[in-house]
Amino acid sequence: MARQISYEIYSFKNGNWMLDSVHDDKNMAVHQGRMLIASPHHMAIRVIEESYDDETDNTMSKIIYKEQKGGDDEKPKKTAKKKKGGATKTKRKKKKKKKGKSMIVIVLSLGGISLGLLALIALLIAQSN
């Protein structure tokens, strides 16, 4: 297996370029990119062909399709970073999680589980009488 090719779809959403999906088929990737740009949530999309050569450990990237909404005045300011040789995975910046939201989700989840267990116990008691 000398050369591996994949197609990455990046979307410009909320002021950032983000990896949306990865495909093995070029036509499917371009089609998916066109579907994304049709949604109101994405301002621009890019389909990038990634070629990785096992023997030389090199990665090459090239944009094979791009589209954006609006005119040239609304060009996205951030661009996708090029990869150096080696891994083909895209690194994402870690976002700081807000502890308050995490705690609320945990409390609500535990409450829902507890309520479900209470309902199950009540059902078992009702059936035994």
* pLDDT for 76: 61
User: pLDDT for 47-86, tens place per residue?
Assistant: 999 998 888 888 999 999 999 987 554 456 554 454 554 4
DSSP for the chain, written as a single string? --EEEEEEEEEEETTEEEEEEEES-HHHHHHHHHHHHHSTT-SEEEEEEEEEETTTTEEEEEEEEEEESS-GGG--S--PPPP-SS--PPP-PPPPPPHHHHHHHHHHHHHHHHHHHHHHHHHHHHHH-
pTM beyond 0.75 = no
Residue range 83-114, pLDDT digits in tens: 554 444 454 555 555 566 777 888 888 888 99
